[in-house]
Amino acid sequence: MKLPYNPKDKKSIIDYAQLLKGKTLRQACDPSILKHNYTGKGNFGQILEKFYFGYDPNSKSEADFFEIGMELKSSPLKQLKNNEYRSKERLVLSIIDYLKIVDQSFDESDFWKKNANILLIFYLHQAGFDILDYLIKLVDEWNFPNTDLEIIKKDWQLIKQKVANGKAHELSEGDTFYLGACTKGANALSVRKQPFSKTPAKQRAYSLKQGYVNHIIASIAGETKEVYGKLIPSVAVAKKQTIEEVVISKFKPYYGKTIEQILTSTGVELNTTAKSFYANLTKAILGIELDKEIEEFEKAEIIVKTVRLKENNLPKEDISFSNFKYEEIVNEEWDESNFKDILEHKFLFVFFQFENEELVLRKVKFWNMPYVDILEAEKVWEETKSIVSKGKIVREVKDGIRYTNFPNKSFNSVSHVRPHATNAADTYPLPTKDKLTKAKEYTKHCFWLNNTYVRDEIYLK
């Protein structure tokens, strides 16, 4: 079959791909597309390869357009309430071969051979639409800018190192900044051998974090009426530095200083009672304008948490996350849950401590949750799901206060469940009526990190 492009000529391939912009697969392809047999999540890409580019989908370790070393990737966009576009998810790249990575250098790696040059096709995912009717919005090639590539190399090295240490089963997306190791497979039973441990490891693929993909779409969209995220200022990571080193070096001069002293020396005026105060103080220290986001933090989806320690090192409060919906948690599995997704992020903790009633900056710390603790958090999540499913939330009512069966601080050393609402009447519906109170809805709750855990495993370590 004669291809409608020259597979040895990059420009010819890209020009042909660009014709997809503003079209759906149904409009862009031959009517034979109606007979496609691809089902399942990844099938947009497979249909695109077979019916538009005219080659059979494969899982070879070389790039799809092997003659010029360019890989084809398609990925969904979502539209926000304000009509701006964002990536719907992380961009999943090739499978990590645990057995081979340990003997490879980055430049000669399977990863780099396949993904150095990518032809990206972004389509708008719309619920209820047939995949043939998703509108293709953005088409362009992508090469990693050098500053990003330095960070991606370090991410890759870290993944390799963990496998070399016999810890492939402990990999987490939170280990790295831009390039993640995300789980890939039908279910939790999709596992592989690893070279230096008998423990089977979950099958994982290299992936670009959702925040990084948002940066990509903002870059390739260029000047359009539609908004695809925004390009944001960088904290300028020098070639031989990690993001951690740059950020910590900027904070260090302020260790031991009071908030007032920090404000004076940064010359930034801030409303200390404003909700965004600590976030703004972080930006002031990093030298980022207050109305801007921090590029590296957005790309790496780093979650900043500020903690105020008492003089005895115990955080004054536990750390809250988003509320969970009772009707959702009972239908979720741990591996797909919001809570696990959050816990697999990279965090930046900014620790202040009370010293004679005054808060001083103690230190900052990059952190992601170790594998064993994620297993602990899973127990809290499973217990919560079970309690909601059975309708056994309320244990007893005393003096009008409802005491629950949700996992508390003595249930687990890592996390517990507590209310997080405007008041007791601020509720979400229950999937199962509460047995004791007959309530059909219940005060909003969320997962919290125990303050003792934050002290012992994050601050003191």
The contact set with DNA (CB under 7 A) reads 271, 273-276, 278, 305-306, 308, 310, 312, 314, 316-318, 320-323, 395, 399, 401-404, 406, 408-410, 416, 418-426, 443-444, 451-452
The pair of structure tokens assigned to 126 is 């719309």
Cβ closer to DNA: 220 or 314?
A: 314
Give just the sign of the alpha carbon dihedral 335, 339, 344, 345: positive
Helix intervals (H) in 165-274: 210-221, 243-251, 259-266
Query: Residue 395 Cβ, how far from DNA at the closest point, in Å?
Result: 7
Query: Residue 151 Cβ, how far from DNA at the closest point, in Å?
Result: 24
Query: Residue 97 Cβ, how far from DNA at the closest point, in Å?
Result: 36
Helix intervals (H) in 199-258: 210-221, 243-251
Helix intervals (H) in 304-445: 326-329, 338-343, 371-390
Cβ closer to DNA: 118 or 343?
A: 343
Cβ closer to DNA: 379 or 420?
A: 420
The pair of structure tokens assigned to 34 is 């109606």
Cβ closer to DNA: 164 or 421?
A: 421
Assign residue 346 a region: left if phi > 0, alpha if psi is -120 to 50, beta otherwise? beta
User: Helix 277-286 crosses helix 259-266 at what angle (to 10 degrees)?
Assistant: 50
Cβ closer to DNA: 146 or 312?
A: 312
Cβ closer to DNA: 260 or 426?
A: 426
Give just the sign of the alpha carbon dihedral 217, 218, 219, 224: positive
Query: Residue 82 Cβ, how far from DNA at the closest point, in Å?
Result: 8
d(CA 408, CA 405): 8
In this structure, which amino acid lies at residue 377?
A
d(CA 458, CA 368): 9
Query: Residue 254 Cβ, how far from DNA at the closest point, in Å?
Result: 17
The number of beta carbons lying within 10 Å of the beta carbon of residue 10 is 18
Cβ closer to DNA: 19 or 439?
A: 439
Cβ closer to DNA: 24 or 451?
A: 451
Distances (CA, A) of 15 to 7, 9, 10, 11, 19: 12, 10, 9, 6, 7
Query: Residue 130 Cβ, how far from DNA at the closest point, in Å?
Result: 30
Query: Residue 278 Cβ, how far from DNA at the closest point, in Å?
Result: 4
Query: Residue 443 Cβ, how far from DNA at the closest point, in Å?
Result: 5
The number of beta carbons lying within 10 Å of the beta carbon of residue 29 is 21
